Homo-oligomer: A and B are copies of this chain.
Amino acid sequence: MAYFDAASTEPLHPAAKAAFLSTLDEAWADPARGYYDGRRARMLLDAARETVASVLGTRSDEVSFTTSGTQAVQLGMLGVLAGRRRVGAHVVVGAVEHSCVLHTADTHTALSEQRGIAAEITRTRVDRSGRVDVSAFGAALRADTALACVQSANHEVGTVQPIAELVTLCQSAGVPLLVDAAQSVGRMSLPDGWSVLTASAHKWGGPAGVGLLVVRKGTRYVSPLPYDEREARRVPGFVNVPAIVAAAVALGAVGTESADEDRRLSGLIDRVRTRVRETVPDVEVVGDPVERLPHIVTFSCLYVDGEALLTELDRAGFAVSSGSSCTSSTLTPSHVLEAMGVLSQGNIRVSLPRGVAEAEVDRFLALLPGLVAKLRAVVAHEPAPSVARDPFVVDALGKRCPIPVIELAKRILDVADGDLVTVLSDDEASRLDVPAWCEMTGHEFVREEVRERGSAFVVRRRP
A: residues with CB less than 8 A from B are: 1, 3, 5, 8-9, 11-12, 17, 20-21, 24, 28-30, 33-38, 67-71, 74, 100, 103-104, 106-107, 114-116, 200, 202, 207-209, 211, 225-229, 236-243, 310-311, 313-314, 317-321, 327, 329
Shortest A100–chain B CB gap in Å is 7
Provide the bound-state CA to CA distance between A207 and B242, in Å. Answer: 9
Contact yes or no, A70 B321, CB < 8 A? no
Contact yes or no, A11 B35, CB < 8 A? no
Q: Which residues of B contact A229 (CB under 8 A)?
A: 329
Tell me how many chains of this kind the complex includes: 2
Q: Which of A12, A28, A327 has the most CB of B within 10 A?
A: A28
* Extra 8 A-B pairs, beta carbons < 8 Å, given A202-B238, A207-B240: A5-B35, A8-B29, A33-B319, A34-B314, A38-B319, A107-B227, A114-B115, A115-B115
Contact yes or no, B35 A1, CB < 8 A? yes
Specify the chain B residue showing the minimal Cβ separation from A20.
B24
From B106, B227, B320, contact of A35 by CB (8 A): B320
Q: Which residues of B contact A239 (CB under 8 A)?
A: 208
Q: Which of A226, A236, A241 has the most CB of B within 10 A?
A: A226
Given A236-B100, A238-B202, A24–B5 Cβ distance below 8 Å?
Answer: no
Provide the bound-state CA to CA distance between A241 and B69, in Å. Answer: 16
Shortest A239–chain B CB gap in Å is 7
Contact yes or no, B74 A319, CB < 8 A? no
Rank and list the top 10 A-B pairs by shortest CB-CB distance, nearest first. Answer: A68-B237, A67-B67, A35-B319, A70-B237, A208-B240, A103-B226, A107-B226, A209-B209, A209-B240, A103-B227
Provide the bound-state CA to CA distance between A257 and B238, in Å. Answer: 26
Specify the chain B residue showing the minimal Cβ separation from A78.
B226
Provide the bound-state CA to CA distance between A1 and B40, in Å. Answer: 12
Given A35-B320, A100-B236, A314-B35, A30–B1 Cβ distance below 8 Å?
Answer: no
From B34, B104, B238, contact of A200 by CB (8 A): B238
Q: Which residues of B contact A71 (CB under 8 A)?
A: 67, 236-237
From B9, B104, B317, contact of A28 by CB (8 A): B9
Contact yes or no, A243 B37, CB < 8 A? no
Contact yes or no, A70 B238, CB < 8 A? yes
Q: Which of A1, A24, A329 has the most CB of B within 10 A?
A: A24
Specify the chain B residue showing the minimal Cβ separation from A115.
B114
Contact yes or no, A24 B319, CB < 8 A? no
Shortest A455–chain B CB gap in Å is 26
Provide the bound-state CA to CA distance between A187 and B228, in Å. Answer: 27
Given A70-B238, A242-B208, A319-B37, A5–B29 Cβ distance below 8 Å?
Answer: yes
Q: Which of A35, A104, A229 has the most CB of B within 10 A?
A: A35
